[in-house]
Amino acid sequence: MHSLPKVVSDRMKRMLLVDTASAQAGEATEDSSVEFNQLKFVCKELYSETAGLEIRYNDLLIQQTFENKLPVAEQHQLLVNHIGESRFSWLSGTTITLENTLTLKVMSEDKRTSTRPFPCTVATAVQVAEFCRANPTIQIRLISPGFNVCPSAGEFCLRCFMVEGVRNELLLRDRHLGTDIPHVYYHSTMSEIQTWLGEVAVKDVRAPNFRVSPGNIIWNDDFQDFVESFVHTDPECTGVMAARWCEHIERWIREGI
């Protein structure tokens, strides 16, 4: 393959190899239209110069941070508006990860609190689910930083994690897991979901390619031992139940819900 024209390669270097820690990079993200126009130019030049070679994203990460406080759903909508529906094929097969790092909160040991807040507003969930249903080849992965476990916080933290997993399974997948072991308080889950939904129908926040994932957890032998030791504390919990919960939690961590 012949080398790309210098004007194209230079523009690619300026856009794709920019120092992300520099002030210039921060300013560039404020005007996404500039960056997007550069991307369109690069793709157009590459397409014409390489007889149809296509460039597409494999994974996109959209974050809300202390530097960029625009909510992830609004950032996602800006991307959608810039691309336009006719060019969503560029994102075919892409996983878009939405991570709101500002929602990360330290859980207290207050035993009166058994569940965490939902990972996003119902309006955000509806907006993302609508996009997913309209674009089934694009995966949306919503990272919920509060959907987390700190083993040093003890069993209470794991119990909260399991309750939230049960709730998300019921909300997003209509899977009923909460009666497996008494540690998970299932009876209040439906009322919590209805309160969060308000007037919104549950089908409006569901899409097969819209998933919620835990934040900052790695499934390994130590974490599995921690889960097994917790579920075995219930005298009614059989080995089958413990294995089932390990399967649930490993799937949540690796694949999302």
pLDDT digits (tens, 9 = 90+) for 111-125: 444 455 677 788 888
How far lies 42's CA from each of 9, 49, 62, 115, 193, in Å? Answer: 9, 10, 22, 47, 45
pLDDT tens digits, 162-191: 888 888 898 999 888 766 655 555 556 777
Per-residue pLDDT of 152-165, as tens digits, reads 766 777 877 888 88
DSSP notation for 163-194: HHHHHHIIIII----TTSSTTS--TTHHHHHH
The pLDDT value recorded for residue 203 is 94
Answering whether pTM is above 0.85, one says no
Q: Taking Cα atoms as reference points, which of 35, 41, 40 lies closest to residue 15?
A: 35
Taking only the tens place, the pLDDT of each residue in 207-228 is 999 999 887 788 888 888 888 8
Q: Are 161 and 253 in contact (CB under 8 A)?
A: no
What are 62-99's pLDDT values in tens digits?
Answer: 877 776 677 787 788 777 777 666 667 767 777 888 87
